[in-house]
Amino acid sequence: MNEAKEALRNMEQKYKLFAQQQFTFTRALNHTREKARDMMRPVESISQVQSYMDYHCENSTDRRILNMFINICNDLSELCYRLETVRPSDSKTAGILDKCKLLLNHSNDLSAIRAKYPHDVVNRLSYDEAKHHYGGVVSLIPIVLDYMKEWLDHTKKLPRHRLYNASGGSATSAKWAPQHAPARAAFSQAPPPVHLEAQTSVSKNHNVQVQGSKRVQKNLNNTEYYSGKLKRPWKPPGRHA
């Protein structure tokens, strides 16, 4: 959001500098229209201004101011597309940006648009210039800037969770959690796994116990044998050797 504010502020500063030279702009249009022998038509599109500059502009002052106008329009168009990706949109914000993109289309007819109060760009023209020639083209940039400020004001009012989710927050993890809750529950109910080392230790202890019991039993047998407790064959009494 801060980046959008800063970008819009920069565009307003560029336009303020351009607006101070409105008379230079309309005079450059007048010169190039004369060279193009196109004095009857209104200046009704950005592409028309581009054509005047490319093919009918013969002095550096006219070229500079016409180029300044085109660059501001291109920068606004780029900013418009950036705003679509920076923040979430509802139907209102999407509609505002669509209007901006339409106005900034190089082929769009600007002849009918007029910037209203508090803008005075139209009032600075003569009646004939405003009505028949330059009223639309001088109104384009202030109208687009107004739309972008409206977009910014409306975006500030969007719910915070919508802004958070759109910026790559926990929306995905929130959707993911319910699907895997049963699995986590199953894992939590399962008995804890016995480590391999513990199993080996238990197994060794068991073997030692088994082997120990066998050894004890064998020792008992050997002790019984060597101590004479083992019974010898029976012989009749009185006839011992």
Listed by start position, the domains of the chain span 2-163, 198-229
Strand ranges in 12-82 using DSSP code E only, listed in sequence order? none
Q: How confident is residue 231, by pLDDT bands cut at 50, 70 and 90?
A: very low
Taking every pair of Cα atoms in the chain, the longest distance, rounded to a whole number of angstroms, is 161
Q: How confident is residue 238, by pLDDT bands cut at 50, 70 and 90?
A: low
Q: How confident is residue 109, by pLDDT bands cut at 50, 70 and 90?
A: very high
Q: What's the mean per-residue pLDDT of the chain? A: 78
Q: What is the DSSP letter of 236?
A: -
Higher pLDDT, residue 36 or 85:
36
Can you tell me the distance from the alpha carbon of 162 to that of 88, in angstroms, rounded to the nearest whole number?
7
Q: How confident is residue 236, by pLDDT bands cut at 50, 70 and 90?
A: low
- 192-224 pLDDT tens trace: 444 444 455 445 455 544 455 544 454 444 444
Higher pLDDT, residue 68 or 239:
68
Min mean pLDDT across 61-75, 131-145, 209-223 is at 209-223
- pLDDT above 60 for 168: no
The pLDDT score that the predictor gives to residue 148 is 96
By percentage, how much of the chain surpasses pLDDT 90?
A: 58
- pLDDT above 60 for 233: no
**Cα 22–chain centre separation:** 38
In total, the chain counts a number of residues equal to 241
Exposure pattern of 207-220 as b/e (b: 16+ CB <10 Å)? eeeeeeeeeeeeee
